[in-house]
Structure 1
């Protein structure tokens, strides 16, 4: 089953780190994942993300304003 993930942020170091952690977590789990970077402020607001980096998985915002570890992301992707 494919997971749909959005990483919200302006392209800062924290945002890029979160993006890389998502890629690594999905790879380690062997889960097919479509990961999209969202840098548009209007899109962030539409999704309810007001602190970056933000993480959205399969229809819900699961994190804002923090860089989750690979292990934390693996738990979220496994749900």
Structure 2
């Protein structure tokens, strides 16, 4: 599983990345978490509001920081 965190590197984006990594760890998942800060890549995905999270290429969250429980639900599918 590939989890991408899209954002400019702002505190909200960093917090989202931290939460997603913690959720992966707590679930014992082998998912890889990547940070995407390239604005062209963000625009190409059609993301209007960051932070945004994509799992296996599909945008599952945009414009907010997930709670740890929400992050786990997103990972579990």
Give your verdict on TM over 0.5.
yes
Give the number of equivalent residue pairs.
Answer: 77
The 1-side partners of 2:57 and 2:35 are apart by 15
Note the C-alpha offset of 1:43: 0.1
Give runs of aligned pairs for residues 1-79 of structure 1, distance below 5 A: 3-79=1-77
Could you say what the CA RMSD is over the residues aligned between the two structures, in angstroms? 0.7
Whole-Å separation in 1 of the counterparts to 2:26 and 2:43 = 31
Q: TM-score, normalised by structure 2?
A: 0.95
Distance in 2 between residues matched to 1:49 and 1:55, nearest whole Å: 10
Unaligned runs of 5+ in 2: none
Q: Which runs of 5+ in 1 are unaligned?
A: none
The runs of at least 4 aligned residues of structure 1 exceeding 6 Å deviation read: none
